[in-house]
Each structure stands twice: as structure tokens, then as C-alpha cells.
Amino acid sequence: MADWPAERLEAVADEQETPVYVIDLDRIRENLGRVQSAFPEADIHYAVKANSGSAVLETFATAGVGAECASAGEFERAVAAGFPTERILYTPVNPPQRDLDTVLEYETEPLAITVGALDTVRRLADRGFTGDVAIRIHPGTGAGHSDSVATGADRKFGIGIDRVEKAVELVTERGMTVVGVHAHAGSGILNPEDVSSHREVVETVAQVVNDLDQDVDFVDVGGGFGVPYRPEGDPLDLAALADSTRDALDSVSGTLRIEPGRYLVADAGLLLTRVNTVKPAGEELLAGVDAGMTDLLRPALYDAYHPVAPVGSMTDREKRSVSVVGPICESTDVLATNRRLPAPERGDLLAIGMTGAYGIEMASQYNSRPRPPVVAFEETTSREIRRREQLEDITAPETDR
Ligand SMILES: *Cc1c(COP(=O)(O)O)cnc(C)c1O
């Protein structure tokens, strides 16, 4: 995290108070550039659920990539951010009625609706949909940073290989067109082992496409490109991932589609938080901070590691083992454990790194906590792109007040 400018971060924390998210739009563009160079032939769709802030979406829309949307809300926000509907893939899982109705009400349809169940096909047909459909398969293997995100191995997602033929028949029978096959291995593909699990998933997709009686316009191998959250971690070998994807799809015609989310935005974000309480706990120090699991859920949800660094110089301090804990009444409200950090003091500013993906996006209002603001860095400018919520933002929907 050493490459973030401390004075700018301090200025943001002073102006906005803490906790506050920072997102660097230039870094997002650099990340996208690397994916574009590794996959020059691929049609890239940014997975909106990683970070759906309008400034982030506009950055991608302006760059000309498409959007992959998991819900009607994401679909509408992508349209509002300037993605033409023919650049949007709608990939809902068990979509609520309201979601299907909303998306189908748009005058122009999304590029393709990805279906993961025969019932979804029937529900689209019942609404008179006669557009393009991609079949999401359940490849039976997955990959990812934790079992809870190894989507490809989870029965919840996709149609079993043995039911694909039936799904295609049903789609055709009901007047829709199968234009693609989709699979998403999971999230956080990082080491060579993950790359080979991903390859297995892609090979399964290739097999399914080859077994179809028809050609498809595209083969979508999902996202899941990982980033090293630990400072000592090696970055994903994008070239190796691209080569193995290409290799596995050798026998298949149709455009390659990829849907990275995390890879494009994770390292472009920081969460700034201030220490308000320090207390000893055995050999350790507990640093109580003003950000918690409501602002950054990943440590509580997946036991995820996020780097923590002091902002500004604290080189004169003795290093101690420190755990960083939040203000929420839950024992899982721990942002970091056992880190070697300069002994924290009240008022210190800490940066929690790699929070551009699934950070503000997963934030909640639990404990009646208004969600934090977001400031965007672009070249040398900083601007607020989301204000801090107020208590009123939490209570406004209550109808019997
Ligand atoms: C979540 C998701 C993605 C993006 O995953 P990342 O790990 O953020 O790259 C892409 N496609 C689908 C279908 C998803 O559900």
C-alpha cells in the first residue's frame, strides 16, 4: 500500500472524517488495460456486483467494455451509467418476479439473459420473452479463495450437464434463441492450481458447446480473476490464465466473453479509519477503530485478509502485534488480527487495503450505522462520489414514524 499518497489520504480523512472509502479510477483503467492486453480477442463484461458506484460504472462504460449484471437493480444502474443494453449481460440466479418484470420492461433487451434453471426459461416464456438466452451450466468443479465462493461446484448455480440438452430444447420450443454457453468457476483464481481448476471448467464448457446441435455466438467463462490480498502474495499470471483458456476453447467457435469484477477494482480501493480506543489484550494490542463489519464485511463473512497500514509516519513507534476491531456488537467484527504494526495510538489514521471490490458494495446499516462516503481519485483530483449517509437515510422508509 506504500504507493498511495499519504498526504492525499490524510486530506480526505480530514475533510470527510472517517470511515471513508477511496477509489482510484486511474488504477481501475490500468487494471482493465492489463486484462485487455492478456485477452485481446475477448469481449469483456465488468461484473457490476464488485462495485456498482456510478463513477466506477461510467469509467467502464466510457472504456467501451460491457456490464454483467446479477440483478434488476444492477441492470438499471448500468443503463443509467451509459452502458447500451446490447452491451449488458443479465445473469440472474433465481430472479425474483419483480426483477424479471423490470428488466423485460426495457424497450431494448439485454444482450442475453443467462439462465441457470429450466424454470427461469419457463418464467421468461410466460412473460412473452423471445430474445437471446445463454445457458449457464453447472460444471461440477469450482475454484476460489474460499469454499464459500467456489461457485462452479455449487448446485445453486447453473444447469447440470445432463440437463443442458433439455434446456436447449425448451428454449427453442418457447421461441427464444440460445446464443451462448456460460460458466463461472468461482472467485479469486490466483495460483497455478486455481488456473488449472479454471481450465477444467472451461474444458467442460467446450465439451458442452461441442455437444450442442447448433453453433453459439459466444462462450462466457465468467470472472473470478484473483488478486493477492497479502503483501507477500504473487499476482495472478494473467497470460497463463489466458493461454489455458484459449487452449481449452481451441475446438470451439464463438467469441470468448469474460466477466472480471474483483480483478478490475479490488486494489483500486482503500478504507480509511481512525483509531479511537487502544487496549492491551495479553501480549497483543487491540486497536478499536471507527470502521467495522458494516463498512467492510469480507473479514467477518469469509475470514478474508485485508492489509492494514498506518497512514503517515509512525516510524518512531515500537512495533507490536495488533488486532483491529470495529464498533459493532458482534464478535466477528474484527477487521484484522495479529498484524505487526507500529503501536497504535488514539487518533491514528489507518488504511485498510484492497477494498475496491465487495467493500462499499456489501456495506450494511446494521447497528443503525449510516454507510460511509466514497471519494474518487483521478489524476491529481479528489472528489466525493457518494456522501456519508445520515441517520435519516436509515429511518426514511419507516412508514409508522
Ligand atoms: C460474481 C460474478 C462474477 C465476477 O466475479 P469476480 O470474482 O469479482 O471476478 C462474474 N460472473 C458471474 C456470473 C458472477 O456471479
Give me the chain's average pLDDT, please: 95
Q: Which atom of ligand 1 is nearest to the CA of 50?
A: 8
Cα–Cα distance measured from residue 174 to residue 347, given in angstroms and rounded to the nearest whole number: 63
Q: Are 289 and 350 in contact (CB under 8 A)?
A: yes
225 lines ligand 1 (CB under 6 A): yes
Strands 319-325 and 334-342, how do they pair? Answer: antiparallel
Q: Exposed, middle or buried: residue 119 (CB in 10 Å: 0-12, 13-18, 19+)?
A: exposed
pLDDT in tens, 263-315: 999 999 999 999 999 999 999 999 999 999 999 999 999 999 999 999 987 87
**Residue 334: pLDDT above 90?**
yes
Helix 164-173 vs helix 118-126: crossing angle, to nearest 10: 10
pLDDT of residue 139: 86
| Active site residues per annotation | 329
pLDDT of residue 148: 66
> Mean of the pLDDT values across residues 128-151?
81
Q: What percent of the chain has pLDDT over 70?
A: 97
pLDDT of residue 268: 98
pLDDT in tens, 370-390: 999 999 999 999 999 999 999
Q: Which of 259, 265, 302 to mutate to test the pocket of ligand 1 (most atoms within 8 A of CB)?
A: 259
pLDDT of residue 284: 96
pLDDT band at 146 (very low <50, low <70, confident <90, very high): low
269 lines ligand 1 (CB under 6 A): no
Q: What residues does each domain of the chain span?
A: 6-21+267-393, 52-260
Superfamily grouping for domain 6-21+267-393: Lyase, Ornithine Decarboxylase; Chain A, domain 1 (2.40.37.10)
pTM score? 0.96
Cα–Cα distance measured from residue 53 to residue 222, given in angstroms and rounded to the nearest whole number: 21
Look-up of cell digits 483521478: 378
- How far, in Å, is the centroid of ligand 1 from the Cα of 395? 32
Range with the poorest average pLDDT among 31-35, 250-254, 305-309: 250-254
Superfamily grouping for domain 52-260: Alanine racemase (3.20.20.10)
Q: Which of 184, 225, 264 to mutate to test the pocket of ligand 1 (most atoms within 8 A of CB)?
A: 184
